[in-house]
Amino acid sequence: MIGTGSKPTHWNIPGADEHVLNLWSYDDAVKIKDHLEEMFIKASRTPDPVERKKILNMYIVGAGFTGVEMAGELAEARSDLSQDEIEEEFGDLLFVMANLARHMKVDPEAALRRTNAKFTRRFAGIEARLAKIGKRPEDSDLAEMDALWDAVKAAERAG
C-alpha cells in the first residue's frame, strides 16, 4: 500500500504501520520505485497466476498536493544530484508506472491526459474560490490550498 497526501496518516488501520510505504519525500519515492521493481521481478518469476496477482496487488490511498510536494522535493534534491541522476531517477519512476499501466491494461497516455484535465479543472476551482476572497494562489499557503483542493474535489464528486 502506498499512502500519499499532505500528511501521512494511517487512521489506526490494523497493519497499516507495517505495510504502508508513505510518499512524503524524494527518498520515499525512490523506496517505492525500488519496491515496485522488486515486486514486478518477483511476479515475473512466479509461475502461478493467482500468486502473481497477489504479488502485484497494491493500493494507493491519499490525495491533495502530494505531486506538487514531490516536485518540490525533487527540486530541492537538485543540489545533491546531477541533472543526469535526476533524469535517470525520474525516468525509472515513469518506467515503473508505464509497466504497471501495461499490466493493468491502461493506456498511460490517456490516463495522463485525463489526470491533467482533472488537475486543471480542480486548480481552476481553487483559483475561483481564492478570487472570491481577493487572493491568488501565490498569496496562499499549502494548508489553505490543500483545504481548497479537498473542497473543490468534494463539490465535484457531489455533482
Nearest CA to 76 out of 35, 32, 29, 31 is that of: 29
pLDDT digits (tens, 9 = 90+) for 20-78: 777 767 777 788 888 888 888 888 888 888 888 888 777 655 544 455 455 555 566 66
Distance (Å, whole) CA 118 – CA 110: 12
Residue identified by cell 494548508 is 143
Distance (Å, whole) CA 23 – CA 109: 23
**Mapping DSSP to helix (H, G, I), strand (E, B) and coil, where does residue 130 land?**
helix
What are the extents of the domains in the chain?
1-106, 107-159
Question: What is the pLDDT, as a whole number, of residue 151?
Answer: 94
Question: What is the pLDDT, as a whole number, of residue 132?
Answer: 96
Question: What is the pLDDT, as a whole number, of residue 10?
Answer: 61
Please state the pTM of the whole predicted model.
0.48
Distance (Å, whole) CA 5 – CA 1: 13
pLDDT digits (tens, 9 = 90+) for 90-139: 777 777 778 778 878 899 899 999 999 999 999 999 999 999 999 999 99
Distance (Å, whole) CA 142 – CA 88: 29
